[in-house]
Amino acid sequence: MSPHNIRPLGFGEILDGAFTLYRRNLAPFLITALIPIAVMAGAFALFGVGAAIAMASGDPSSIAGAAGAVVLMGLVGGMVYVVMWGGLTREVSEAYLGRPAIVGDGMRTGFRKALPIIGAGLIATLLIIIAVFAVMLVVGVIAAVGAASGSTAFGLLLGVVAGVLALTVYMLIIAVFFAIVPAIVVEDKGPIEAVGRSIDLARGALGRVVGLMVVTILITYLPVLAVGFLTGSFASIADPSTVPSAGQVVMQQVLGLGVSVLTTPFLVAVIVLLYFDRRVRTEALDVQMAADRLAEPVP
């Protein structure tokens, strides 16, 4: 793609454009997505094996140390995942604007933007907690009304209404915060600014954003479900007494990580294209870019 192709995109065009960017930049996208797995594999080799042995020993002091190692690995994993997400956002945006997607450039950007992304994530999480609490209050009132009615049919109807309400709010939350990382990476916004920027870009197009997020999540998580089916995860869920073998656990983890590497770049690409589409529709970004090109001095 090139800057000359920046224009409003239809629903299907965003998905197709994400696939196109993914296909044309397969190597840098996959390498960037692999980096967190490589880091976590190294962290597990350093801390995880010892932690597993300590947990199996039953010694309280060893278990406490193992718990600390697990927490450390979780922090490392979370940090590298944030860096990876920022790096992929940078690479996808550069590719969409007609510039080369370079792993080194993406990772440097991911490291620089990691703290703002984490800060914006904390702000968004706080707002989500407030929204969830409000929804729980409403659902609780609905459930109480249904229980007081004494009618099974009416109570069931109210239960369905409460479930639909909770799911709707959840999807709206995803839609409202979809552009946080692109705003930080592309526009150099701070955490608070990025949250506000995402809300502004989502305003007036919540249905469209929700629809794209639902379709993209289905596309990216169907392979995860397939892995769970093939490796027996669903059998363990259906029958908690069924203990998976060590081989099954390893296979589940390996295949799950492999699927994540393959699907995460596509998810990021959809979000980035949707972000640019909203800027084109609300700010005439395509016109601004065309004017900037005309203003460039002729060599």
The predicted model gives 227-233 an average pLDDT of: 62
Cα(156)–Cα(168) distance, integer angstroms: 18
Residue 193 confidence (pLDDT) = 95
Nearest in space to 230 (alpha carbons), one of 250, 247, 255: 255
Decide: 168 and 123 in contact? Cβ < 8 Å. Answer: no
Number of neighbouring beta carbons within 10 Å of residue 125: 11
The predicted model gives 107-120 an average pLDDT of: 94
Indicate yes or no: pTM above 0.75. Answer: yes
- Does residue 248 carry a pLDDT above 60? no
Residue 245, by phi and psi: left (phi above 0), alpha (psi -120 to 50) or beta? Answer: beta
Lowest mean pLDDT among 29-38, 101-110, 123-132, 138-147: 138-147
- Does residue 261 carry a pLDDT above 60? yes
Task: List, in order, residues 6 or more apart from 48 with CB less than 8 Å away.
Answer: 69, 70, 73
Residue 77 confidence (pLDDT) = 73
pLDDT level of residue 278 (50, 70, 90 thresholds): very high
- Does residue 252 carry a pLDDT above 90? no
Decide: 85 and 110 in contact? Cβ < 8 Å. Answer: yes
Residue 285 confidence (pLDDT) = 81
Nearest in space to 197 (alpha carbons), one of 187, 206, 207: 187
Residue 273 confidence (pLDDT) = 96
Nearest in space to 84 (alpha carbons), one of 41, 36, 42, 27: 36
Cα(194)–Cα(117) distance, integer angstroms: 9
Residue 219 confidence (pLDDT) = 86
Residue type, 61: S
